[in-house]
């Protein structure tokens, strides 16, 4: 049999650097949607579907924020509260440039899943409104808050990481900043 290998960066979990992390991440992402959509066929108990979906959303939020983001794309975020003032601030962490090579397949799966899930929950909220199943709206609202929070935080974390990488490369030896500084100092003293 002639089996061709998928191209690097294609959406094949076999190309992942961390396949177990990737499959667990996708499993949590998909399972909450599946329980919400098809749970009514398994049980008619609204409360049971609500609780299971909330637990899956919470597990997805935690796993994505603390494990999958760090392992798949080298990004992590958290929120700190200053105990004296009560002020809250977001903290973004990225792997050091050159220490972690992000697999393009992991990155594509990660970012597609980050942005696709809130879109799906928005569509489900519209379906709930249009079909007058307003009892489902609190669950959809919780899902939207959790998925959009992670999406925004990882987007900001990625922007922070890119800015840090640019600044770090500018400050390393044999770089633009070093050359500019030496030229400016040289010009100042050569007059």
Q: Say if residues 160 and 94 touch (Cβ distance below 8 Å).
A: yes
- Tell me the mean pLDDT in the region 116-128: 94
166 pLDDT more than 80 = no
Closest by CA to 153, choosing from 107, 92, 95, is 92
Closest by CA to 73, choosing from 178, 139, 159, is 159
Distance, in Å, from the CA atom of 4 to the CA atom of 7, rounded to the nearest integer, reads 9
CA atoms within 13 A on the CB side of 65: 20
Other beta carbons within 10 angstroms of residue 72's beta carbon come to 24
More confident residue, 96 or 181: 96
Q: Break the chain into its structural domains and give their ranges.
A: 13-189
What's the Cα-to-Cα distance from 128 to each of 31, 72, 115, 140, 177, rounded to whole Å?
19, 34, 21, 9, 55
pLDDT at 101: 78
The pLDDT tens digits of the residues spanning 60-116 come to 999 999 999 999 998 988 989 989 998 998 888 887 766 777 888 888 999 999 999
pLDDT at 133: 86
pLDDT at 16: 78
Q: What is the DSSP string of the chain?
A: ---PPPPTTSS-GGG-SSHHHHHHHHHHHHHHHHHHHHHHHH---HHHHHHHHHHHHHHHHHHIIIIIIIIIISEEEEEEE-TTT--EEEEEEEPPTTT-PPPHHHHHHHHHHHHHHHHHHHHHHHHHHHTT-GGGHHHHHHHHHHHHHHHHHHHHHHHHHHHHHHHHHHHSTTSHHHHHHHHHHHHHH--
What's the Cα-to-Cα distance from 47 to each of 15, 50, 100, 141, rounded to whole Å?
39, 5, 43, 16
């Amino acid at each position: 049999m002639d089996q061709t290998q998928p191209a690097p960066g294609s959406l094949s979990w076999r190309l992942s650097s961390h396949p177990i992390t990737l499959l667990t991440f996708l499993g949590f992402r998909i399972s909450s949607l599946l329980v919400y959509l098809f749970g009514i066929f398994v049980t008619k108990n609204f409360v049971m579907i609500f609780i299971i979906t909330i637990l899956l959303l919470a597990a997805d939020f935690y796993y994505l924020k603390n494990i999958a983001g760090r392992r798949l794309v080298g990004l992590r975020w958290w929120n700190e509260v200053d105990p004296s003032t009560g002020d809250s601030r977001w903290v973004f962490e990225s792997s050091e440039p050159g220490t972690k090579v992000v697999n393009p397949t992991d990155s594509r799966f990660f970012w597609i899943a980050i942005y696709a899930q809130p879109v799906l929950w928005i569509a489900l909220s519209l379906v709930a409104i249009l079909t007058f199943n307003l009892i489902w709206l609190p669950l959809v609202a919780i899902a939207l808050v959790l998925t959009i929070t992670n999406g925004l935080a990882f987007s900001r974390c990625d922007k922070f990481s890119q800015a840090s990488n640019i600044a770090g490369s500018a400050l390393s030896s044999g770089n633009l900043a070093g050359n500019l500084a030496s030229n400016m100092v040289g010009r100042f003293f050569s007059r």
